[in-house]
Amino acid sequence: MICWGLLGLKLTYFIFPQFPQQKNDYDCGLFVLLFMECFIEEAFKRLKKKEDVEVNNRKVKVYGRNYTFIETRWKKLRVGELVKVHKDEYFLVDLLLLSSSYEDGICYVETMNLDGETNLKLNNALEVTSHLHDENSLERFRAVIKCEDPNKILYSFVGTLFYNGREHPLSLQQMLKNTEYVHGFVVFTGHDTEVRQS
């Protein structure tokens, strides 16, 4: 915005020469420089918006009302929905890991988008949900999640999973690696995700 304001001010001096101004050989150069700065700034904004649209339109499998996984776009996900993320796919929301393709519920996650680190981080599903591997077991799964409000603290998550009449504490444990798939609950979306908050 400052860029356009300066450009407008300089343009005023060119259009209305009756305003008092100091003669300078660099007037035209300054005008061109300001114009180029505004042009580059606008180009970066448009590129970022295009990338955001492309990322938000990627497909993901969400567990539907007919008890099967159906394809939808990441931008259409809502908090509380159950998703299936496959190997080498990005998490575009904050997920609570319920189960993975491994029997013990582990998965490896690359967190480069969050913290810049390229090493894989080992995450574990809760033992009580690690058995949820197929659509039949997911059909019978009923739980409630209570968690903290969205915040800027990247390495902290406080919550509780209420399942089978018991409370299970949740803790913090975004491209999935070395694991065929994971099932997870959408905890935060859009501007509420850890990436956007930090």
- The three-point CA angle 21-17-26 to 5° equals 55
Mean residue pLDDT of the chain comes to 79
- Is the entire prediction scored with pTM above 0.95? no
The encoded tokens of residue 112 equal: 């480069």
pLDDT at 127: 85
How large a percentage of the chain has pLDDT more than 90? Answer: 4
Is residue 109's pLDDT more than 50? Answer: yes
Q: Between 108 and 92, whose confidence is greater?
A: 108
Question: What average pLDDT does the segment 40-64 reach?
Answer: 88
pLDDT at 46: 92
